[in-house]
Copies of this chain bind each other. A is one copy, B any other.
Amino acid sequence: MERQRKISKREAIIEAAIGLFSQKGYHNTRMEEIAQAAGAGKGTIYEYFASKTELFSEILLTGWRKIQEDIPLQEPGVTPVLEQLHRLIHGHLRYFQENRQLTRVSFCEVDTIDQELMEWALKVKGEKEKQVRAMIETGIERGELRTDIDVDIVSRMVCALIPYFASHIVMNDVEIDTHHLAVQISTTILEGIKN
């Protein structure tokens, strides 16, 4: 067997699950379908995952970890806020565009599968917001941003835009210039649109 072909059963199952969950949703995907798509037996899934819910959670967690790895935090000391904001937005959009299926899975249903999962999702969202808030606050401290803005609201605004545009990309299955989009968004927030 060649290197590339050698995928662990576990990997295969996760891949299959992402594909099917993304396409048909959690509740419309049967464990048997996942097993088939993964070229495994139905029982094999349970060798690696305790339940359907856990398989789903595992996928979300993995996805989230990959985001953390792929989008490195800026060293806040040097980079100007505009640049930081741009990188944050661009990093996320690119990641989501490159992981369409996983993104689709993550954006839907998280709330309805499991109470625990929902709380976890809220926590993740909260952390992102904290990260952005820190960025904004630094900007204010360094005099790059106005002092009269509502930090809380502005941070959330930034956080609102990323999933919305990401959702647009993956749901309508379009391919866009994420760099350009990120520039437009960050500039607009910074500069406003008033004449």
Contacts and interface: CB of A to CB of B under 8 A. Distances in A.
Contact of A28 (B112, B149, B156, B160): B112
Interface stretch (A6-14, A68-76, A140-148): A140-148
Contacts of A195: 143-147
Interface in A132-170: 136, 143-147, 149-150, 153-154, 156-157, 159-161, 163-165, 168
A44 to B, nearest CB: 15
A67 interface: no
Contacts of A28: 112
Given A26-B112, A109-B108, A159-B164, A146 B181 contact: no
A28 B27 CA distance: 10
Nearest to A147: B195
A151 to B, nearest CB: 10
A193 B109 contact: no
Interface of A: 25-28, 108-109, 111-112, 122, 136, 143-147, 149-150, 153-154, 156-157, 159-161, 163-165, 168, 171-172, 181, 184-185, 188-195
